[in-house]
Structure 1
Amino acid sequence: MPYKSEEIILVDCPRDAIQGILHPISTQKKADHINKLLESEVFDWIDFGSFVSPKAVPQLSDTAEVLRLLNINNKSTKLLTIVVNEKGADAASLFPEITYLGYPFSISESFQKRNTNVGIDEAFSRLKNINEIARNTSKEVVVYISMAFGNPYGDIWSQELVVNWIGKIKALGIKEFSLADTTAEAEISDITTLFKKCIHEFPELRIGSHFHSKKEDSLVKIKAAYAAGCRKFDGALMGYGGCPFAKDDLVGNIPSEDLLDFFERKTDILALKNSFIHLIS
């Protein structure tokens, strides 16, 4: 089916793809690959790095250096980086090339502590401060609702809890969200009902998807989210990555090539895959 490009936002996430790779990847290789993504002009956003503790994610400790090597002149693609506290937001705010600050906010207390070493209350307090930093530096916060489809820890979860937290965060003036299927366990019925519920409740917000999935389940998740009203989709080439803090056997991201195919965006996908293979080799 034909899609108008302005109706759909596709996000490639090399940051998510490589953050769990143990062997060091050179700054130049990272920049070369991201430049290849930028040149393709088929992705609206690129989630390219993170300003977090190098002890937490050593692979991404050179995000600032990578950014300085990117050729973003005359490119329409926007850059997003992950931050988890005010220090990271301050560091990212120094770069006018960055449009979005992505903030992972878990509605599971256990996962929030596992992911950022603080509980939900402190994470929300940080978010307030990060949003002020973003406002003062002409950036926009994107909140990822982690564990949006449930959690493996026995923490309280419901779709109403998701809606309630989006409402609280919206009150800060934040308009960009993504529902994250962190542990790849969301059923298609869950995807359908949660997106419909959130989009009905908050039609003024943009609520995207960040799914983790088995490769064979990727397309059906894309279709379900799209049919339920989702218009922003995250992926990673070849389905690499996933959250290293969720659980050991986590499956990968939605393959970006599946998104490009479903939304009929033409590019030399083999060249992009080869670039990614070179990046991680």
Structure 2
Amino acid sequence: MNWPEKVTIKEVGPRDGLQNEQIILPTQSKIDWIDQLSDTGLSYIEVTSFVHPKWIPQLSDAVQVAKGIKRNPSITYAALVPNERGLEAALEGEIDDISVFMSSSETHNLKNINKSISDTLPVLKKVIDGAANGGKTVRGYVSTVFGCPYEGEVSMDQVFRVCDQLFDYGISEISLGDTIGVASPRQVASFLESAVKRYDLSRIALHFHDTRGMALANVLQALECGVETFDSSLGGLGGCPYAPGASGNVATDDLIHMLHKMGIQTGIKQEKLIKAALLMQSFLEKPLPSHQMAVYNAQ
């Protein structure tokens, strides 16, 4: 098998995970958790989102969180930014890496962002240009790559049109999202077979949700295709509003367990991940849904 020797894990729990929780954690709890994540060996943590509090009240304290965390110089601290106003706040919070987001599906983009794809792109270009002027790198999220809750399967050509435009605007990396967890390994392989002819895979990350229990299988397939960067959320925090009750992002602790068992390096310390997961369990007052935490909690 042509597996890489090392993989980069981008932790999205403080943003993608907490935004789907019913409880709104105190600011200090978020800061404490991010500080503990910073001690695990992670090199990239997405700490919050600068979306209007009306839409994501769970992350309404984005600036306070960004300013309150203890910065490890070896870690990139990122945040999701939807528009120029959000960028101003992100720059105030001294975020290292700006993430912009949109959907490859027209209907999902309208539902999620309240704009068409053609109307969203100019907004993102202003954010990307502004971030570059502020000396920041920019990452792009493209959602519904493997399936849309409204339109079903999304054509690869449509996904590539969106990715091409974002790359043309100057982003450094695209994270391709299986937003509702419908991808299969065969679909992932087919997509990446085409993507590798178009893009440098070092600029591609994959963002799998585990709604149907397929996330690790899809990661394994992506590894075989040469992808070396994956998003994940500690304990499997997160979810999808289109699949109520379903599990969320692929769990960082489960992913690290698999990779380390395969002899693939990540630089992340499993025992410190568990410590950070236990802290979040205490904050949420419920078990985290990952397999690793289920085993730990049963001991």
- Aligned partner of 2:19 in structure 1 is 19
AA partner of residue 83 (structure 1):
V
Give the unaligned 5+ runs of structure 2: 261-267, 286-299
Q: Kindly provide the CA deviation profile for residues 69-94 of structure 1, in whole angstroms up to 9, marking residues without a partner as x.
A: 21114x31111101111211121122
Secondary structure (helix, strand or coil) at the match of 1:48 reads strand
Alignment counterpart, residue 258 of structure 2, candidates 232, 257, 262: 262
- Aligned partner of 1:161 in structure 2 is 158
Task: Map residues 106-121 of structure 1 onto 2, 5 A cutoff.
Answer: 106-121=103-118
Task: Map residues 108-187 of structure 1 onto 2, 5 A cutoff.
Answer: 108-154=105-151, 157-187=154-184
Q: Are the aligned partners of 2:183 and 2:214 in contact in 1 as well (CA < 8 Å)? A: no
- Aligned partner of 1:251 in structure 2 is 247
Q: Are the aligned partners of 1:108 and 1:156 in contact in 2 as well (CA < 8 Å)? A: no
Which stretches of structure 1, 4 residues or more, deviate above 3 A after TM superposition? Answer: 1-4, 246-251
- Aligned partner of 1:65 in structure 2 is 64
- Aligned partner of 2:265 in structure 1 is none
The 2-side partners of 1:255 and 1:112 are apart by: 26
Alignment counterpart, residue 236 of structure 2, candidates 219, 223, 239: 239
Q: Are the aligned partners of 2:4 and 2:226 in contact in 1 as well (CA < 8 Å)? A: no
State the superposition RMSD in angstroms. Answer: 2.0
Q: CA deviation at 1:95?
A: 3.1
Q: CA deviation at 1:181?
A: 0.2
- Aligned partner of 2:28 in structure 1 is 28
Q: CA deviation at 1:205?
A: 5.5
Q: How many residues align?
A: 275
Q: Are the aligned partners of 1:108 and 1:155 in contact in 2 as well (CA < 8 Å)? A: no
Q: Are the aligned partners of 1:93 and 1:133 in contact in 2 as well (CA < 8 Å)? A: no
Q: Does the C-alpha gap of structure 1 residues 205 and 167 become closer, same or farther in structure 2, counting only changes over 3 Å?
A: farther
Give the unaligned 5+ runs of structure 1: none
- Aligned partner of 2:78 in structure 1 is 80
- Aligned partner of 1:276 in structure 2 is 280
Q: CA deviation at 1:175?
A: 2.5
The 1-side partners of 2:219 and 2:152 are apart by: 27
Q: Are the aligned partners of 2:145 and 2:177 in contact in 1 as well (CA < 8 Å)? A: yes
Q: Are the aligned partners of 1:210 and 1:234 in contact in 2 as well (CA < 8 Å)? A: yes
Q: CA deviation at 1:23?
A: 2.2
Q: TM-score, normalised by structure 1?
A: 0.91
The 2-side partners of 1:275 and 1:126 are apart by: 37
Alignment counterpart, residue 95 of structure 1, candidates 93, 96, 111: 93
Secondary structure (helix, strand or coil) at the match of 2:22 reads coil
The 2-side partners of 1:116 and 1:204 are apart by: 28
> Between the two proteins, what is the percent identity of the paired residues?
29
The 2-side partners of 1:225 and 1:172 are apart by: 26
Q: Kindly provide the CA deviation profile for residues 22-41 of structure 1, in whole angstroms up to 9, marking residues without a partner as x.
A: 22210011100010000112
AA partner of residue 103 (structure 2):
S
The 1-side partners of 2:209 and 2:135 are apart by: 30
Q: Are the aligned partners of 2:210 and 2:247 in contact in 1 as well (CA < 8 Å)? A: yes
The 1-side partners of 2:153 and 2:234 are apart by: 33
Q: Are the aligned partners of 2:4 and 2:228 in contact in 1 as well (CA < 8 Å)? A: no
Q: CA deviation at 1:157?
A: 2.2
Q: CA deviation at 1:64?
A: 0.9
